[in-house]
Amino acid sequence: MSETAFKVPKMGESITEGTIINWVVQEGDAFEEGDILVEIATDKVDNEVPAPFSGVMISHKAQANDVVTVGSEIAILEEGSAGSKSEEKSKSNLKSKEKEASSIPSTKVEASTKSSAKEPLQKTASVGIQNNTFYSPLVISIAKEHHISFEELARIEATGNDGRLRKSDVFKYIDAGRPYQFSVIPAKAGISGDIGSQFESIGQQMMQLGQELNDTLAELKALKEQPAVEQPKPYTIPQLKLDKGTGKIVEMDRMRSMIADHMVYSKHTSPHVTAYVEADMTDIVNWRNANKVKFQEKHGEKLTFTPLFVEAVANAITEFPMINVSVDGKNIIVKEHINVGMATALPSGNLIVPVVKDADKKNLQELATDVNRMANLARENKLGGDDIKGSTFTISNVGTFGSVMGTPIINQPEAAILATGIIKKRPEVITKDGNDTIEIRSMMYLSLSFDHRIVDGFLGGSFLKKIADNLEQFDTNREI
């Protein structure tokens, strides 16, 4: 029997790291090929990693809540039959205990080395600083990009598990104007609080540089004598003592916490504007009712309204490509692909957005296949990383729950999101040949929330009207 390193598998096209949620198989336990060994969470989805063969778990190289990179070694496995579990378990337990005992001195040395070293940010899996705080490679990368020191990072309020600083915490701090960037260092650190004496000492040293600095020193002295002007402070949330009441406390799960962060970040980032229009869905409703059975018999797929909505949106985007964009600083990125996300409710009550890739290049049958497949995977909590990546525009069908209309929050970093309301029959005034008549029509409200930084009312309104036109002018003679 041979020992094999167990590494973090690839979990998606652009995913480079994840967080270990839980080890399902403990050290010394036997397992069969295909058994789930560990659960690893990424920014979007939790992954259950199966065993590549039958054997025994020798040791864990990473623990729960550790951030691990794709391809890194996280465990040692012993390949072999899982039949003799007791013998293999005793051997592996002995090995793990010996390893734990032998690793204690080196751990202490490593800890003391880290605490004494004062080095710039490095690309390591985690970096320890004061108060036993650890930072993920993503947080370190963001800090390096914005020139944030470890001392400044330590002042940022952390909301992650066990006090871990999350990327959303760093972005929130940056958006707030980095209020702790120039915080005063305590006197015990060796910095005197007497600003005036330091100023005079610096002035004396500058005098020695030459007569040419006299004018500058005079100006500095005049500024020193002026009354202190209070510097503007960044906006902070007021500490209001609200009556939150009493009741059962329910802790947010990981996905709900991420959704909450993402929604607040979106509202903080994008000035939201919502436009509304209603569409006469009578023709498309009648066509679907007449053809949904034939469609399923021919293609083996249910024909819901969702692929029809995706088709109408994709066709509208081709005429208004500036909707299919995202913001990068002072630049606007116009996306090459039209990938339509569809907000889908999970059994837990949380929300996820699977993506129909290249929706403008697919026919109705292909769209229905993609929509049904991902909706089923979402209900079974089996969506993969690639299924939820790369959306450029999102649809939220609030009509599924009986809502007449909605004001959806933009799925960052997209520029707009569409909400489709419930389809209801209503009496409408119809003008034909100059004569007004009242007819019963199937009507639906459409709501478009867009980022007013890059989408103005004319573009947003025109795009929304085009979607409604595509639905109203649906070709009822099309073949299925």
Residue 147 falls in the annotated catalytic set: no
Catalytic residue among 162, 175, 194, 456: 456
Catalytic residue among 272, 386, 452, 469: 452
Query: Residue 191: CB partners within 8 Å, gap ≥ 6?
Result: 184, 185
Phi, psi of 332 (to 5 degrees): -115, 125
> CA 207, CA 341: separation in Å to the nearest integer?
66
User: In the structure encoding, which two tokens stand for residue 347, read together?
Assistant: 């059994």
3-state secondary structure of 150: helix
Question: Based on the number of CB atoms within 10 Å of its own CB, is 326 exposed (0-12), middle (13-18) or buried (19 or more)?
Answer: middle
Residue 387 falls in the annotated catalytic set: no
Which residue from 445, 387, 452, 390 is spatially nearest to 421, judged by alpha carbons?
445
The span from the first CA to the last CA of the chain, in angstroms, equals: 58
> CA 478, CA 405: separation in Å to the nearest integer?
29
User: In the structure encoding, which two tokens stand for residue 53, read together?
Assistant: 């063969």
Phi, psi of 326 (to 5 degrees): -145, 165
Q: What DSSP line would sit under 182-213, residue for residue?
A: TPPPPGGGT--S-HHHHHHHHHHHHHTT-GGG
> CA 131, CA 155: separation in Å to the nearest integer?
11
The residues annotated with a catalytic role in the active site are: 452, 456
